[in-house]
Amino acid sequence: MDDALAAHIMVTAQRLARAARRVLRPLRMGYVVHGFGVAHAHLNVIAQHDPTDIISACHVDAPGGFTVTQDHLTPPTRVASEAMAARLCYALQ
pLDDT in tens, 9-63: 999 999 999 999 999 999 999 999 888 888 888 999 999 988 777 766 566 667 7
Q: pLDDT (tens digit, 9 = 90+) per residue, 56-75?
A: 656 666 777 677 677 777 88
> What is the number of structural domains in the chain?
1
Which amino acid is located at 53 in the chain?
D
The pLDDT assigned to 72 comes to 76
Q: How far apart are CA 47 and CA 27, in angstroms?
A: 8
Query: 78-92 and 3-24 helices cross at what angle (nearest 10)?
Result: 110
Strands (E), 18-65: 28-34, 42-48
Confidence (pLDDT) at 35 = 83
pLDDT higher at 5 or 38: 5
How far apart are alpha carbons 77 and 27 in whole angstroms?
25
